[in-house]
Amino acid sequence: EINHTWFRLKYNSVMKKLLILLFSLLISFNSLGVELDRLFGISLYENAGNYVSSNYIDSNKIKHRETHGDYFNVDFSEVIPEKSPYFSFYRVTINNNKIHSIYGAYEFDNLSRCQDVQKSLLSDLKIKYQIETQYSEISYPEFKIYTDVYITDSNNYFALQCKETYPSTTYDLQMFLDSSDLDGAIRKFYDSGL
């Protein structure tokens, strides 16, 4: 009977250790991709001065059209740390030199080609970052977007989308990661006057 008691105690101890190990592994697997906070070698919330000089920022920044606040876009096409074969234009959005958006785009001649690349790239991103996105189509007076969206644990906004712009009818594949602050400022801009 002593052997059975010893065996039960040993078994319970081993099982507890295995459960703790399994729980730890599940947490680490679930955390992969949960906090997406970096694109093209740039991290959200970093100082843009970590990547370019203040002179570069001052001479290249323009007001962000979709906000009422002090957000500015800065062209990073020539200085982006990690270029992607899917994008040819890059920019960051800053507020007080803090990065609130990382953006890449590529122009296509038709919507079908843009969406084919979007679908293929999205499949790879879902595997790499272990994310699930929500798809929607949204129309505005000057453009329509076909977008796949993922909201991170910090409420940052990741999107991969095709944007159809009127009246010139251009089609841009766009991938971007916006801070929750910028996302709120953009929502406020589009909700103003309603």
- CA-only gyration radius of the chain, Å: 22
pLDDT band at residue 1 under the 50/70/90 scheme = low
pLDDT band at residue 156 under the 50/70/90 scheme = very high
Residue 182 has pLDDT above 90, yes or no: yes
Neighbours of 110 (CB within 10 A): 11
Neighbours of 75 (CB within 10 A): 15
SS3 for 163?
Answer: strand
Contact 80, 40 (CB under 8 A): yes
Task: For residue range 58-96, list pLDDT tens digits in order.
Answer: 999 999 999 998 999 999 999 999 999 999 999 999 999
Lookup: tokens for 103: 């953006």
For residue 98, give the nearest of 152, 65, 68, 57 by alpha carbon: 57
pTM, 2 dp: 0.80
Task: For residue range 8-27, list pLDDT tens digits in order.
Answer: 555 555 445 443 444 444 44
What is the share, in percent, of the chain residues with pLDDT greater than 70? 82
